[in-house]
Structure 1
Amino acid sequence: MEMDQQRLIHELRSKINQLPLAFVTTDSAADAEWIKYRNKLRQSILNDDPRDFCNWEPIRSTMFYEPDVVELQFLQGLENWDQWKTAIRESKAGNPRPYYAFNESSGNLIHHAYHLAQLIDATKCSIQNIPQVVEFGGGYGSMCRLFYQLGFKGRYIIYDLPEFSALQEYYLKSIGIQSAIKKESTNDKNCIVLLSDLNELSKQLKDQVDRYIFIATWSISETSLDFRNRIFNLVSNASYYLIAYLYQFGEVNNHDYFMNFKNTKNNYTWKHTEIDHIKNNWYLIGSNLEK
């Protein structure tokens, strides 16, 4: 096991060393902020122990959240709590801190399960029967892991910055997910596809499947307007949308943006609501009436 970890760490650092340093090339404050986190993550991967990455500052400040206990209580109140209880058992990869109210899991995994449960509750979609998921900004791979632990068997695509894609590959291999990991577009139906190139994402999404979920929790809402519009054009025929966002991010009023977004898609039913226990943060959950 230790030899496997050392091999994965070596592969991760080799991938990071092959990436060019990121520099700010636009006037977007959002882009500048993510360039900063890219470079912080790069330094952490090269200089710190990846077996403890969940406790690194660039991870804890951007993608590891300790939720209010109401999220756990919501899951515990579901009829299929036993299934969720099994799915949110945390692994040791990354050394995540156990959640104080449920030591078998972490706050972050419970938070992701809560998001997904909101989607299922609002749309009645079946994780086991969905052929594809497209996640924009996949963190270190926790949501992807949760899907597989709930019985997902399709193609899971994560589009992210290259440093985060490298960490996702390290993490998903560390927890032993058996699906093949691809780094470019593919026709394989049962695999994980980690992409950082918009052209590759566009190529991948031309391989249309009958139904797919698009997920972007506090990710696409933290990009420039031009870039998020390009992404939404690529996923315009998603069967389901699961989006979470902060009301205002930098110079962008996200609430107005997503109100306009849903109003242009009349072939969907929408649940658009503030998250009671996270003030000024909202869910936008959509289901295509034609699929």
Structure 2
Amino acid sequence: MNFFEKAKRIFFNFTYKKTKLNPPSIDEQILISNLRSRITSLAKINTSLDLEIDSCWFNNKTQIRESILNNDPRYFTDWKVIKNTMLYEPPIEVLKFMQKLPVWSRWKEAIKESPVGNPRPYWAFKESSGTLIHHAYHLSQLLLKTSCSIENMSQILEFGAGYGSMCRLIHQLGFNGRYIIFDLPEFTALQEYFISSVGIPSKITRKTTSNIEKSIVLLSDFEELAKQLSDQMDTNFFIATWSISEIPISFRKKIFDLVPNVQYYLIGYQKKFGEISNLDYFVELTRKRTDYFWWNYEIDHLKENYYLVGRKKIDPD
């Protein structure tokens, strides 16, 4: 970043003020009411009942429940738990990388930000947010390495989906199939609120469905996920950015076993999480799965963080 860019960023951050929203409309009130009803219907958090989740996420579950019930969800990007776990402002080099792509005009339209959640605009491209630009950068790694086509996929599984930003982006790139999200129930509630608010023209359901066209399936129960993935439809794309790398190895295996024939993988992970060496874990995974072409590399702007991109090899006739 040069001096001019630094000065521009500092000036924007100093002068920027969050938009003050009008009182919620009737439609917004309904969405907020449904979100809060989802949260109040959840069982009490009990750390002894779920050993598959890292302890820090129990705190996040508590914080997101409290925030939804006590604060205006239309400002959810201001919540501490969201800022700490889901938002990121990438360096200018990430935006410049995207702008140099031959298909930048397509990305430029896809990353136009929604006012839902009242996100902070990215200082160098105010039509978008830092988080959405970074999600586009993640996805571009898969598209550049494999030349796959998002719009031609029929089923995608995202493990840990934040508030639904990647799901929104993939739909804005032309995806029209079945999009399955597996996450904690507090976050699937927020995802339903966000996805409903941004107007993705897909049916949202919290139950398994045989409809593979224009449907978003939000699941938090492993058995329900297994049931959903047991049909005859193969999953084209598995995505997990800084999510599957934050769960015990035993649970990772259970998830990967559900999608043994997925065509494409996009995983983002940190070098180490707790006592687990993620780098060693994913290197070993790629060594065993010789039926895939793998790209496993450190992220230039996030040291000790990595992308793992995979493409299934085509069997000879």
Instruction: Give TM class, smaller chain.
Output: over 0.9
Match of 1:185 among 208, 221, 227: 208
Task: Report what 2:114 is aligned to.
Answer: 91
Counterpart-to-counterpart distance in 2, 1:261 and 1:97:
37
Counterpart-to-counterpart distance in 2, 1:6 and 1:27:
33
Counterpart-to-counterpart distance in 2, 1:267 and 1:249:
27
Closer/same/farther in 2, CA of residues 59 and 242 from structure 1, 3 Å limit: same
**Aligned: 1:140 with 2:158:** no
- CA offsets, 1:173-213, max 9 Å, x none? 11111100011111101200000010011011112325510
Q: Percent identity?
A: 54
Counterpart-to-counterpart distance in 2, 1:28 and 1:144:
27
Q: Secondary structure of the equivalent of 2:48?
A: coil
What's the offset of the Cα at 1:23? Answer: 2.1
Counterpart-to-counterpart distance in 2, 1:208 and 1:281:
35
Counterpart-to-counterpart distance in 2, 1:189 and 1:29:
29
What's the offset of the Cα at 1:28? Answer: 6.0
User: Which AA in structure 2 matches 1:170?
Assistant: Y
- Rg bigger for which structure? 2
Task: Report what 1:73 is aligned to.
Answer: 96
User: Which AA in structure 2 matches 1:62?
Assistant: T
What is the TM-score when the length of structure 2 is the normalising length? 0.89
> Is contact 1:131–1:212 with CA below 8 Å preserved after alignment?
yes
Task: Report what 2:140 is aligned to.
Answer: 117
Task: Report what 1:253 is aligned to.
Answer: 277
Q: Secondary structure of the equivalent of 1:280?
A: strand
Match of 2:266 among 242, 250, 254: 242
Counterpart-to-counterpart distance in 2, 1:66 and 1:21:
34
User: Which AA in structure 1 matches 2:232?
Assistant: Q
Closer/same/farther in 2, CA of residues 211 and 31 from structure 1, 3 Å limit: closer
Paired residues in the alignment total: 291
Match of 2:298 among 274, 277, 291: 274
Counterpart-to-counterpart distance in 2, 1:40 and 1:273:
33
Counterpart-to-counterpart distance in 2, 1:133 and 1:73:
28
Counterpart-to-counterpart distance in 1, 2:25 and 2:261:
44
Counterpart-to-counterpart distance in 1, 2:295 and 2:187:
30
**Aligned: 1:214 with 2:238:** yes
Alignment of 1:17-96 (within 5 A): 17-25=40-48, 31-96=54-119
Counterpart-to-counterpart distance in 2, 1:208 and 1:286:
22
**Aligned: 1:196 with 2:250:** no
What's the offset of the Cα at 1:82? Answer: 0.5
State which drifts further: 98-107 or 66-75. Answer: 66-75
Counterpart-to-counterpart distance in 1, 2:32 and 2:50:
35
Counterpart-to-counterpart distance in 2, 1:111 and 1:208:
33
Structure 1: unaligned runs, 5 residues or longer: none
Q: Secondary structure of the equivalent of 1:105?
A: strand
What's the offset of the Cα at 1:277? Answer: 1.1
Closer/same/farther in 2, CA of residues 8 and 26 from structure 1, 3 Å limit: closer
What's the offset of the Cα at 1:111? Answer: 0.6
Counterpart-to-counterpart distance in 1, 2:153 and 2:97:
23
> Is contact 1:21–1:39 with CA below 8 Å preserved after alignment?
no
User: Which AA in structure 2 matches 1:221?
Assistant: S
**Aligned: 1:172 with 2:195:** yes
> Is contact 1:119–1:242 with CA below 8 Å preserved after alignment?
yes
Task: Report what 1:8 is aligned to.
Answer: 31
- CA offsets, 1:32-85, max 9 Å, x none? 111110010000000011000011000010011111111111110111101100
Task: Report what 1:227 is aligned to.
Answer: 251
What is the TM-score when the length of structure 1 is the normalising length? 0.97
Counterpart-to-counterpart distance in 1, 2:268 and 2:235:
21
Counterpart-to-counterpart distance in 2, 1:26 and 1:229:
20
User: Which AA in structure 2 matches 1:162?
Assistant: P
User: Which AA in structure 1 matches 2:57?
Assistant: W
